[in-house]
């Protein structure tokens, strides 16, 4: 297990600058599409790395664990992540002392007939429960909600075409009631995939009264989680 002891400046959600160190905190960076780098003292976890053929390129990343929601080229380019053990598929996985729960879902609304299966991953770092929805293509069924069993931070696709669209993404957020919802899998230049921007989802969030904030990176601890759902739009790290 790789431990990190870092100090430096981090921008808060309110825009102020503070000194942050690893302790009971984590830092979340978005590398575009569905790829996040989640760093904590326990481990660094990377989700769904993509091939550069999609029009954007990953930076050099070293991690302890990489999760793969499904075997499409824009989600399974594990060669881009140095030193990581790979977690795939439904069921329980214990890696680097961290329990990952894979929940079986689908990439479309026809039980996988169009695009196959998708794995939602749930795991905990620093006492914060995270859920990465991968390329979820439908609103959740009751048994899937029960299996996920509560979320603090939710990574939710919002761009449609290959995943839930803005309206269904908002419904999934309502189903899981996270403290923080982070949109992903939406159009950013120069991404060459035919998906929508995040704007329609942000309108859905507005209609529901969710606070929307922007951040370059997100630094969190269990004690700083908001009382009600907030949407945090992360800047693309490149």
Which pLDDT score is estimated for 15?
37
Q: What is the DSSP string of 58-81?
A: ---EE-SEEEESSSSTTT--GGGE
* pLDDT of 234 above 90: yes
pTM for the whole structure: 0.89
Q: How confident is the model over 8-61, as pLDDT tens digits?
A: 333 333 333 333 344 578 999 999 999 999 999 999 999 999 999 999 999 999
What residue ranges define each of the domains in the chain, with the CATH number in brackets?
7-234 (3.60.15.10)
Residue 169 and residue 31: Cα distance in Å, rounded?
A: 20
Q: How confident is the model over 169-182, as pLDDT tens digits?
A: 999 999 999 999 99
Which pLDDT score is estimated for 237?
60
The closest of 164, 170, 166, 183 to 109, measured between CA atoms, is 164
Q: Pseudo-torsion of CA 46, 60, 58, 129, nearest 10°?
A: 20
Which pLDDT score is estimated for 23?
54
Which pLDDT score is estimated for 21?
40
* pLDDT of 3 above 80: no
Reported as a pLDDT band with limits 50, 70 and 90, residue 111 is confident
């Amino acid at each position: 297990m790789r431990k990190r002891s870092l100090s430096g400046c981090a921008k808060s959600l309110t825009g102020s600058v503070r000194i942050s160190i690893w302790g009971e905190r984590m830092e979340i960076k978005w590398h575009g599409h569905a790829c996040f780098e989640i760093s904590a003292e326990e481990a660094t976890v990377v989700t769904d790395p993509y091939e550069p053929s999609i029009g954007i390129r990953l930076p050099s990343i070293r991690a302890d664990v990489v999760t793969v929601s499904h075997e499409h080229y824009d989600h399974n380019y594990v060669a881009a992540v140095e030193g990581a053990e790979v977690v795939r598929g439904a069921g329980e996985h214990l890696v680097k002392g961290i329990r990952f729960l894979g929940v079986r879902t689908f990439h479309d609304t026809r039980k996988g007939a169009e695009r196959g299966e998708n794995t939602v991953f749930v795991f905990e770092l620093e006492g914060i429960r995270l859920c990465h929805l991968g390329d979820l293509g439908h609103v959740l069924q009751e048994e899937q909600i029960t299996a996920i069993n509560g979320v603090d931070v939710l990574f939710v696709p919002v761009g449609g075409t290959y995943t839930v669209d803005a309206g269904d993404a908002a419904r999934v957020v309502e189903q899981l009631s996270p403290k923080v919802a982070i949109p992903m899998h939406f159009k950013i230049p120069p991404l060459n995939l035919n998906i929508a921007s995040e704007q329609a989802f942000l309108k859905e969030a507005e209609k529901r009264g969710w606070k929307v904030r922007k951040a370059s990176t997100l630094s969190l601890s269990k004690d700083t989680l908001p009382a009600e759902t907030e949407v945090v739009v992360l800047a693309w790290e490149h």
